[in-house]
Amino acid sequence: MTSVGPDADDGREPEHPASAGVVRDVGRKGVGGRSWFAVGFSLGLGATLAWLTVQTVLEVGSLLTLLLLAVFLALALEPVVVWLTRHRLRRGWAVAVVLVLLLALFAGFLALVVPPAADEINALVKAVPGWLRDLHDHNSALGRFEDRYHLVEKARQQFSSGGAAGLAGGLLGAGKFVVGAITSAAIVIVVTVYVMAFLPGLKRFCLRFVAARKRPHAQEVTEEVLNRVGRYMLGNVATSVIAGAATFVWCAVTGVPYPAALGVFIALMDLIPIVGTTIGGIVVSLVALSVSLPVALATAGFYVGFRLAEDYLIVPRVMKFAVDVHPLVTVVGVLIGGALLGVIGALVAIPAAVAIGIVLDEHVFSRTDTS
């Protein structure tokens, strides 16, 4: 009989030392020849950095939004600065002229708005003592209203039960809001001035990230984007002028007070897409209540009709002529931008859509059309 050795009892082939070393080496190695510890550490470090980046962006989100607004304003005013520099004016002086013009427009707006507002506030202050007397006069409308609902007593109870602290907190919150608004406006103005003054240098710096052989073409695309943004702003100003003129004519015809101030107010509000005309129309309708309720209702109806005409007739046609964008892209872009970044997103939505369209035409569609 043939004897069977110990290695052949189980029918398995003997394990080779070389293959066992390979198995142990694979166990120690991870992806790309690195150990699993190094792979795990890299993934953890990358996730941590991504989380910190997201948190940082969320923390400074409001500041980034203000910077985006400042850059947009600088690019919108760039055609005016370029026009002045072409007339033998240095760029610094051209920026100064633009700022002076903007300050003059703002001063004119204040000259139209402040006197009527001051008159109304003075009239309100003078009317308060009479209202207080009427509250204690049981024969007046306010007195009968007070006898029925006891508003004065309820106000005293609310004030004595912690209402003073709430009032102080409300005043403090209002003060913080005012300070924040002034600070934000100062940041936007300063950054806008700097971007306007040093825009050519900023463009040269950004173009240095592009390869030298592609730089001339990238510069052409950049100039085309900036040109379209300037034309968009001019188109936006044109629609605002139309809105302001229509408001002035309506107020003058219907006898609504302060037609010039309200016209300028609507023109400024119309620069804000989506909600600008609506808010302005509500304000003008409330002012029209000083004339009569039918005039106020007619004013509200006028702004509803004007809003529809502006959204679906005026703005799409003007923007198509100014920046060559399809009306559907105009409406959808404004809605998406407003949903993402609010008012500022709605402002920059159309220029962003124009820039994306130019980049697609130059770098994507040009290749797919010739393939």
pLDDT band (50, 70, 90) for residue 253: very high
Per-residue model confidence as pLDDT tens digits over 118-177: 887 888 788 878 877 777 777 777 777 777 777 777 777 776 666 556 666 777 777 787
Total Cβ atoms within 10 A of residue 178 = 10
* 160-199 pLDDT tens trace: 666 556 666 777 777 787 888 888 888 888 898 998 889 8
Distance CA 308, CA 31 (A): 60
Residue pair 305/278 in contact (Cβ under 8 Å)? The answer is: no
Query: Any alpha helices (H) in the chain, and if so which ranges?
Result: 17-28, 36-59, 61-86, 91-135, 141-149, 151-158, 164-197, 199-207, 215-254, 259-270, 276-288, 293-309, 315-323, 327-360, 366-370
pLDDT mean across residues, the chain: 78
Residue 145: count of CB within 10 angstroms of its CB: 13
Confidence of residue 102 (pLDDT cuts 50, 70, 90): confident
Residue 323 has a pLDDT of: 66
- Amino acid letter for position 69: L
Which residue, 301, 269, 305, 270, is CA-closest to 288?
301
* pTM summary value: 0.66
Q: How far is the C-alpha of 66 from the C-alpha of 81, rounded, in Å?
A: 22
Tell which wins on pLDDT, 187 or 274.
187
Where residue 253 falls (left for φ over 0; alpha for ψ -120 to 50; beta otherwise) is: alpha
In this structure, are residues 302 and 296 in contact, taking their beta carbons and an 8 Å threshold? no
Beta bridge partners of 29: 35
Which amino acid is it at 349? A
Cβ contact 231:350 at 8 Å = no
pLDDT higher for 315 or 23? 315
Q: For position 26, what pLDDT does the model report?
A: 47
pLDDT of residue 250: 94
Per-residue pLDDT tens over the stretch 296-349: 999 999 999 988 888 777 777 776 666 666 666 767 777 787 777 777 777 777
